[in-house]
Structure 1
Amino acid sequence: KSLLMCASIVISLVLTDYFMLYMMERFNYLVQKQYEDAMYREEMHYKDIYYEEAEKQNKEVQKLKHDMKHKLHELYHLLENSDGHELSEKIGAMCIEFEQIDEKQYSDNPIVDSVLRIKFGRAKARGIKVETSIRIPKQMQLDHGDIGVLYGNLVDNAVEACSKVPEGQRFVKIENKYQSGILLLVITNSKTGKKNKSLKTTKKDNIRHGHGVQSVRKVVEKYNGTVSFTDKGDIFEVSAMLYGIEVKE
């Protein structure tokens, strides 16, 4: 009877251990699945941003072509009637209209441009000075969603940090170059002097921000790359290097 009781206890312990192991594996699976779902949603979000921006640019071009057609007819009519003063005013108004069109091109890559135009638009609205030095191919074998996750999250973080700095001291600088299959992206921004050694977020939406940093790491790892975060007190620098990036013909 004593032996049977001992055997029952051993079996119970083994079953308990097995159940705990199963629950731990299940928990890890659910956490991983949740993370992958978040990554997928984020990639889809940036793909949507690109297509929305592309559609917006296309509409602006079509509207510009339509308006230009009518305005050129007006100018031709004024020229025929030798009304120099009104002709001068019309041309001046057209020049102002051209200046108001946001045709800033940061790089030859349309996907990167779409993301940067949106992010830098928000940065400029907060009084942040933007500097860029980008020399990358027009087409790279880099997934559109990955481009959005990488550039979008890092610029978002830089803009957020800059917003806490007094006006006049806010800046974001991007250096981005490609050579022999290697893509280098360095983003520098001003920040408050307090160091954040653990890289813990100060954003209100810290859960999403935490996912953002992890998403960046995931993208970098996907391309066998490296990423480093350097806090220099009043300046923060992120450097990411991706390998095996081929140019699309």
Structure 2
Amino acid sequence: MLNIKFYIAREIIDSLVFVVAFFIMMKQIGYVYNPKNIFLKIVNLLLVLLIIMVQIKYYVFGIDIILLVVLLFLICKIPYEFTLKKAFVYSVLYTLIYKGVEFTFKYILLYFFILTKDKLNIEWNIYFDIFQNTISNVAIFSIVFSFDKLKKLSINKKYYLYIGFTIIINMLIILFLKKASNSIYDLYSIVTDNKIPYNQSVKIMPFVNFADLALPYIIVASNIVFIFELIKLLKSTHEKAKYEVINEKLDMQYNYYLNIKQSQDKVKRLYHDINNHMTNIKVIQNKNDEVDKYINSINEELKDFENTYNTGNVILDIILSEKSKLCQAKNIDFLCNIDFSKGDFIDMIDVSSIFSNLLDNAIEACDKIENEDDKKYINIRGTIVKSYYVIKCENSKTNQVVSKNNKIITSKKNKYLHGIGLESIKSSLKKYDGELDIQIEENKFISTIYIPIK
């Protein structure tokens, strides 16, 4: 009677762990438990009670997986409002993974008990069952609470973790098959040696031989194919995602400078009109120092709207003007000498990509200089050399920069997003058969671009 009560209590605890772990995992992933009204809250509570009843009813024969999946599917639909497909996938995966983890830890401990019971002279009792159940539940909660850390991992690290997990599981399957086949061989020897009449032993041996001799190699081979294909897929996915980010950044940069151009066109018209008005007012007004001072201050502010640069490309003029102001704010000496009159074969969006990213990288490097005695400077030049348009950007730096295969190796935490600027430049240069050369010296960084003139 005591044992029956104990096992009922154990199954109630297991069912509560099953439900609570699911709700915690949903929260860790980022879903909010939100039943719309009191009726749905009651329905959800009834579903939890049904899960407990299913556990208790089937504890002798094993858990009815189908019933648990159905009940969990309804829980996914009611408080989380998942789509049918999403609710089905989450309920099936969670139930299978939960049961897999639960049975794995329980049977590892059971196997350990069988191996050591004779040596330690112990017998199975309720206390060992409690210990077995506790370890299993602790393992489940540890996995659930680690979901938050898993979410923070990069895509590549997640998939490599999945690969490692798959390899471990397959190795355990191979070890299990080896152990099971050895036990069947021993049983077959006993049957044949003692001439025990059992016809099924002959029929089952080909399957045992296949599981023992062929199946492990098939599993290993399939794992190798799976890993190589997954790594290949990861690389292509990574490259695709990177170029999507590059293109998105290109569009944003281009639209930004295009909006500035449109605004400047409007301001230019106003500037000429106001400038004429100021001149006329200055001529007709009575000599008054305060009025002169006021008019001069207005003229000074209007100078900001004059064209500081005249490279032969409107977008480039705006980019240089914007970056020049940024350098002035950061106390960076900015020297520019660019003639882009023969660069009209380069699309506006690529002009934006090349010069914006080149100067952004230079400004970022200068901005990291903390010593006030160290000079912050950026020199950018653009000219024609033979049949090439050459752009050379030199900037000061103090931080250590490592280059490998003409790529910058960063110490930043977000390694994925770092280097997108250089990749954007290379992506634009590729259209024109251009090249980017990087030279790193102790106190300066030099980027040189070569674009064949078409």
Pick from 337, 341, 345: which aligns with 1:141?
345
**CA 1:97/1:118 → structure 2, altered by over 3 Å: closer, same or farther?**
closer
CA distance in 2, matches of 1:232, 1:162: 14
TM (norm. structure 2) is 0.46
Kindly indicate whether the alpha-carbon contact (under 8 Å) linking 2:357 and 2:422 is maintained by their aligned counterparts in 1: yes
Q: 5+ residue gaps in structure 1?
A: none
1:30 and 2:232 aligned:
no
- What displacement does 1:188 show? 0.9
CA distance in 1, matches of 2:361, 2:219: 51
In structure 1, what is the equivalent of residue 402 of structure 2? 197
In structure 1, what is the equivalent of residue 110 of structure 2? none
Moved more, 157-166 or 138-147: 138-147
Pick from 329, 350, 358: which aligns with 1:125?
329
Moved more, 107-116 or 96-105: 96-105
Kindly indicate whether the alpha-carbon contact (under 8 Å) linking 1:49 and 1:114 is maintained by their aligned counterparts in 2: no
CA distance in 2, matches of 1:12, 1:168: 61
Q: Deviations over 1:170-212 (max 9, x none)?
A: 21101111356522110111222x5423343467866433222
1:212 and 2:418 aligned:
no
Alignment of structure 1 residues 1-249 onto 2, 5 Å: 1=206, 4-5=210-211, 6-68=213-275, 70-71=277-278, 74=281, 78=284, 85=287, 89=292, 92=296, 95-137=299-341, 140-163=344-367, 164=369, 166=372, 169-178=375-384, 181-192=387-398, 195-198=400-403, 199-201=408-410, 207-243=416-452, 245-246=453-454
Q: Computing the radius of gyration over CA atoms, which structure comes out larger, 1 or 2? A: 2
**CA 1:4/1:92 → structure 2, altered by over 3 Å: closer, same or farther?**
closer
Higher relative contact order (CA 8 A, sep 6+): 1
**Greater percentage in strand:** 1
Kindly indicate whether the alpha-carbon contact (under 8 Å) linking 2:246 and 2:423 is maintained by their aligned counterparts in 1: no
Q: Which amino acid aligns with 2:248?
A: R
Moved more, 43-52 or 224-233: 224-233
Q: 5+ residue gaps in structure 2?
A: 1-205
CA distance in 2, matches of 1:203, 1:63: 45
CA distance in 2, matches of 1:86, 1:12: 95
**Secondary structure of 2:328 counterpart:** helix
RMSD between aligned residues: 3.1
CA distance in 1, matches of 2:344, 2:330: 32
- What displacement does 1:116 show? 1.7
CA distance in 2, matches of 1:157, 1:203: 14
Identity within the alignment, % = 20
TM (norm. structure 1) is 0.79
